[in-house]
Amino acid sequence: MKKPVIQFSDFGFKYRSQTAPTLQNINLAIYEGEKVLIAGPSGSGKSTLAHCINGLVPFSYKGEVTGSIKIMDRETKDENIFALSKFVGTVLQDPDGQFIGLTVGEDIAFALENDCVQQDRMRERVTEVAEMVDVDSYLASSIHHLSGGQKQKVALAGVMVDDVKILLFDEPLANLDPATGTQAISLIDRIHKETGTTVVIIEHRLEDVLHCDVDRIIIVNEGRIVCDMPPDELLASNMLEAANIREPLYIRALKYAGCKVTSDIYPNHIDKLKIGQCRDKLLAWYSTADEPEPAPKSTPALELNGISFSYQAGKSTLDHISFTINKGEMVSIVGKNGAGKSTLSRLICGFERPDSGRIIVHGRDITADTIKERSLSIGLVMQNPNQMISKHMIYDEVALGLAVGGVPEKEMKERVERTLKICGLYPFRNWPVSALSFGQKKRVTIASILVLEPAVIILDEPTAGQDFRHYTEMMEFLAELNKRGVTILLITHDMHLMLEYTPRAIVIADGKKVADDTSVNVLSDPAVVEQANLKQTSLFDLALRSGISSPREFVRRFIAFDKGAGRAWQ
C-alpha cells in the first residue's frame, strides 16, 4: 500500500494581516506517485494550500497555523524551508522569477553547486535532466533568449536536478500559448510516468489539464476542500459549476443535447468519451438548434496596409500585415508566443514606427502621428491594471486623460460620470483605487480609455489570471460596450474567449498574417492551428465523433445556443 507523502490533518492558516483564516479544516492525503490537480476560483485558498506544501507557509508568509502538515512523514513546523526544498520542487507561474544562472546549464546546476556536488557528477546530472525535459541542445544558451515554453522546461529541470520527491506546478499554463500549454501538460505527464514522482498541479483551466490523465481533482473554495474525487466522477457531478470552474466545452454540449453525463461514459477526455446513446441526442439537438445570425456590414474603423517592422536590421518581426477592422466589431488577434501580436499593438498605438506601410483610422492616415495624437483615436488597456493606474482616487484616474488634454471642467465631469455609469463604477467614484479587486481595477483602466472616446480599444489578455466568474463578468462587460458601438481588438491566448465573444479572428504566425476568418473556421483548420500554435476546440472533436456532417456548423450553433441560454464559459 502506498504511503502519503503529503498529509494535512485538521489544518488551518490565517495570514497575519487578515482577520479570518484563509484555510480551515483541511484534511487531505496525497500519496506517493499520485498526480493530483488542485483547482478553485480566485481567492479560494488554492495558492495558499500550495505554499503550505512547499514551506513558504509559514516560513516566508507568516501567520497563525492550526493542525498539522506532514511532508514525507515529517512535521513541517519542525523543519525549515531549505530542508523542505529537498523534498518539494516548485515550478512558478512565471519561470523568470526563479532563474539564477545566465545560461541554461548554469541555472540547472545551481542546486547541485549549493550541495557541493563534484563537477564531473554535476555535468552528468545536468545533462541527464536536460535530456529528460528536451533542453539539452540549449545548455550553453542564454535563458532570456528562450521562448515561454522552453523557460518552463528549464525551470522544471532546475528543480528535478535535486531528485525531489514531489513536483509542484503553480498555474503552468498561465503564460503559454495553447499548443505550448498542451505540450507542457504532456511533458509533466511524461515526467510523472518515467520518474514516479508525485505531481501536484495548481490550475483552473480544467479542460487543458485533462489533456492527460490525473488521478484526482481537489476543489478548494472559500478556504475549504469541497470536493476530492476522480475526474470522471467530478465531471458527472455539478461541483464545477457550484465552484465557478468552467466545465469542458464538450460536457456542456452533451448537457445541452439532453445527454446524461455519468462516470460510466468516461467524460474526463474527449478521446475516451463513450458517445453511444448520446449520438442520436446530439444529432437531434444539432438539427433543431438555430443558425447564428450574420453580422451586419459596417464602415472601416481601423485599416493596416502593408505594415512591416523589424527590431533588428535584416530580421523581420512583422512582414506586410494588412487587415481592416470595421466599426463596432470585436476581433481577436491570436498566435503563438513571439509571433508579433504585441508588436502589432505597439505599432497601432504609436509606441513603435513601422518600416513601411500605413495605419488609417476612420479614413485618416495616422502613420506619422505622435503617440499623444494617436491616443485620441486608439486606446490600449494593458494586461496588468497596476501598470496603468497612476492616481489614488477612481474619479481622478478616469478623468486624467481629459485633464491632460485640457477638456473644460464641466464637460470633463459629464464625460467621466457617464463613463463610470457605463462601466458600473459610478457608486465607487470616490473610492481609492487600492480598495478595488483586480477585476474592478481592470474596469477602471478600461473606463480611463473609454472616456477619451477612441475609435478603437485594444486589450492585451483581458482575462489573464481570472477565474470563471470574474472572466464572465469582464467579457460580458466588454460585450455590452461592443453593443454600444465600441470597436474592440483583443490580443489573447484564450481559445474559448475567441470562440465565445469574437466572431472574427486574425492569426499571426512568424510575423505574417496567416488567417483572417471566423473564429470557428480558424479553430477547425488543422493547418492554421498547427502553424500558429493554437488548439482545436473539443466541440469540433465531439461533432466529428458523433458523425455530424458539418462540425464547423455544430460549433457555430453551440455558440449561438450558449449565448441564448445566458451561459458564458471561460
What domains can you pick out in the chain, each with its CATH number? 4-242 (3.40.50.300), 255-288 (no CATH), 298-377+455-542 (3.40.50.300), 385-453 (no CATH)
Burial (0-12, 13-18, 19+ Cβ within 10 Å), 97: exposed
User: What does the alpha-carbon distance between residue 570 and residue 565 come to, in Å, rounded to a whole number?
Assistant: 15
Query: Tens of pLDDT along 17-61?
Result: 788 999 999 999 999 999 999 999 887 899 899 999 999 999 999
What pLDDT shows up at residue 440? 85
What pLDDT shows up at residue 411? 96
Cell numbers for 435, please give them: 480598495
What pLDDT shows up at residue 377? 92
Would you put residue 218 in left (φ > 0), alpha (ψ -120 to 50) or beta?
beta
Residue of higher predicted confidence among 71 and 173: 71
Q: At residue 436, does pLDDT exceed 60?
A: yes
Give 566's pLDDT tier (boundaries 50, 70, 90): low
Q: How many CA atoms lie within 13 A of 273 on its CB side?
A: 30
Query: Tens of pLDDT along 358-410?
Result: 999 999 999 999 998 998 899 999 888 888 999 999 999 999 999 998 999 99
Cell numbers for 159, please give them: 528543480
Q: At residue 125, does pLDDT exceed 70?
A: yes
Instruction: List the alpha helices (DSSP H) in 451-492.
Output: 468-483
DSSP 103: B
Q: Please, what is the average pLDDT of the chain?
A: 92
Q: At residue 320, does pLDDT exceed 70?
A: yes
Q: Is the pTM of this model over 0.85?
A: yes
Residue of higher predicted confidence among 290 and 235: 235
What pLDDT shows up at residue 438? 77
Give 570's pLDDT tier (boundaries 50, 70, 90): very low
* Residue-level length of the chain: 570
Phi, psi dihedral angles at 258 (to 5 degrees): 85, 15
- Compute the average pLDDT of residues 139-167: 93
Strand order in the sheet with 23-31: 23-31, 4-15, 63-71, 74-75
Query: Tens of pLDDT along 213-235?
Result: 999 999 999 999 999 999 999 99
What pLDDT shows up at residue 39? 96
Closest CA to 337 of 210, 168, 152: 152
Cell numbers for 568, please give them: 458564458
Query: Across 285-400, where does the E strand assignment appear?
Result: 300-309, 318-326, 330-334, 356-361, 364-365, 378-381
Contact present, 4 and 68 (Cβ < 8 Å): no
Contact present, 379 and 456 (Cβ < 8 Å): yes
Q: Is the dihedral of CA 390, 393, 394, 396 positive or negative?
A: negative
Q: At residue 439, does pLDDT exceed 80?
A: no
